[in-house]
Amino acid sequence: MLESISSEAEKHQLTVLPEIHEHYTLPRKVSEHGYYTYDFALPMLILYTLFKGDAMNLLNWLAASPMHQFTTLDTHDGIGIVDVKDVLNDQQIDFTTKQLYEHGSNVKKVYSSATYNNLDIYQINTTYYSALGEDNRAYLLARALQIFAPGIPQIYYVGLLAGKTILSCLRRLKKGATSIATTTPKVKSRKK
């Protein structure tokens, strides 16, 4: 299927970029065939590293990562969980998600549930900035890790502007897409 789509795309000077939220081995197999993929495990790996202070899983991941990929920390879907399965073990995933719910700004388990049209096993509904407790230093470190990781960094516009999760919007709309439930910091103009 990818060959068929790619051959048609190439006629129009387009490149196929499959979005695969699945066990990390599937995107790796796709990458081995020369296709770009997304590194959707990186967001949770960086969160685990920053919350736990243990970089071994992240270092091992980066050493094995293909260059033929796009790195991302945030998407309109929030932060994927299924993508990091077996890169982090179940206890490490549980630790990271608990840290998000306990310390991440504007993150509550109910917002990643069926009530808000989200499945917790798939994603945690928050912006990356809010997941890090809106801590500027942690956020800049996470972005630096993303930018220097193997591949091409792709920064979602909400992430580029350090968007925060807006709980009132999320509660009112009962829709978990972080793109509609976010805001960016107000920038004060400096008078000359």
Question: Per-10-residue mean pLDDT for the chain, 192 residues long?
Answer: 87 88 88 91 96 97 92 85 92 92 62 51 79 94 97 92 75 54 50 52
Q: Give pLDDT, residue 4.
A: 87
Q: Give pLDDT, residue 174.
A: 58
What CATH class has 2-182? alpha beta
Closest residue by Cα to residue 93 from 52, 34, 135, 140:
52
Amino acid type, 55: A
Q: Are the C-beta atoms of 165 and 112 separated by less than 8 Å?
A: no
Q: Give pLDDT, residue 120.
A: 46
Per DSSP, the three-state class of 189 is: coil
Q: Give pLDDT, residue 119.
A: 47
Instruction: Supply 153's token pair.
Output: 């960094």
Give the pTM: 0.81
Closest residue by Cα to residue 61 from 79, 42, 43, 48:
42
Q: Are the C-beta atoms of 143 and 72 separated by less than 8 Å?
A: no
Sign, CA dihedral 11-17-23-24, equals: positive
Instruction: Supply 137's token pair.
Output: 């230093």
Instruction: Supply 60's token pair.
Output: 């091992």
Query: Which residue reads 């439930």 in tokens?
Result: 181
- According to DSSP, the β-strands at 69-71 and 37-39 are parallel
Q: Give pLDDT, residue 144.
A: 97
Q: Give pLDDT, residue 7.
A: 87
Q: Give pLDDT, residue 146.
A: 97
Amino acid type, 1: M
Instruction: Supply 108's token pair.
Output: 């509550």
In residues, how long is the chain?
192
Q: Give pLDDT, residue 88.
A: 96
Residue-range domain boundaries for the chain: 2-182
Q: Give pLDDT, residue 145.
A: 97
**Can you list the alpha helix ranges (DSSP code H) found in 53-164?**
56-64, 90-103, 128-131, 136-148, 157-160
Distance of CA 45 to the CA centre of its chain: 10
